[in-house]
């Protein structure tokens, strides 16, 4: 399997934006797996223990993620090019590691579109009911991703 560093936007100005960015990264992981690759998405992993809103913790997470690059066969990016993604692009060029901009495989696209709609609708409903954001998050159940993986 080809080892790839996965880059997607993470930070966002709203909880909805953050939820959409996390979902994008999860779908990008599946897309890489469907391509026969072994992806690492340090921004999903390290933000579980580091606070992305605290500059020194964000910087530590970015540096830790970039440290894996020397082992990677490629850096792949989905979504917008952010400051964090730019740092990855610059280092990949310096290390002469291929960088690829991507879109989802066609078979994954309908599930991604459905997931975005689910996330947006979930947030609208929670706003109406004043329910805390993390209390019933549908993506934790692997909703759309499970169906894609089961179709194999």
Tokens of 137: 């998050």
The answer to whether residue 61 scores a pLDDT higher than 90 is no
Q: What is the average pLDDT value for the chain, to the nearest integer?
A: 85
| Interval 3-22 mean pLDDT | 93
The answer to whether residue 142 scores a pLDDT higher than 70 is no
Residue scoring higher pLDDT (133 or 123): 123
| Contact between residue 74 and residue 98 where contact means Cβ atoms under 8 Å apart | yes
| Interval 106-112 mean pLDDT | 93
Which run of H or E residues covers position 5? strand 2-7
Q: pLDDT for 85-101, tens place per residue?
A: 898 899 999 999 999 99
Residue scoring higher pLDDT (20 or 124): 20
DSSP class of 49: T
Question: What global pTM score does this model have?
Answer: 0.81
Q: pLDDT for 62-72, tens place per residue?
A: 889 889 998 99
Question: Quick one: CA torsion of 138, 144, 145, 149, rounded to 10 degrees?
Answer: 140
Task: Give, in words, the CATH class of 2-151.
Answer: alpha beta
The percentage of the chain sitting over the pLDDT mark of 90, rounded to a whole number, equals 55
Q: pLDDT for 16-52, tens place per residue?
A: 999 999 999 999 999 999 999 999 999 899 888 888 8
The answer to whether residue 145 scores a pLDDT higher than 80 is no
């Amino acid at each position: 399997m080809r080892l790839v560093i996965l880059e997607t936007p993470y930070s966002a100005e709203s909880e909805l934006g953050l939820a959409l960015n996390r979902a994008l990264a999860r779908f990008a992981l599946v897309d890489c797996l469907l391509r026969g690759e072994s992806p690492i998405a340090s921004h999903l992993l390290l933000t579980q223990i580091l606070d992305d809103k605290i500059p020194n913790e964000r910087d530590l997470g970015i540096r830790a993620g970039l440290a894996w690059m020397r082992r990677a066969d490629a850096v792949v990016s989905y979504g917008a090019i952010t400051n964090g993604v730019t740092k990855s692009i610059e280092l990949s060029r310096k290390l002469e590691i291929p960088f690829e901009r991507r879109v989802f495989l066609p078979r994954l696209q309908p599930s991604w579109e459905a997931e975005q709609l689910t996330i947006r609708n979930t947030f609208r409903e929670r706003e109406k009911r004043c329910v805390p954001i993390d209390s019933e998050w549908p993506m934790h159940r692997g909703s759309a991703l499970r169906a894609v993986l089961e179709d194999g």
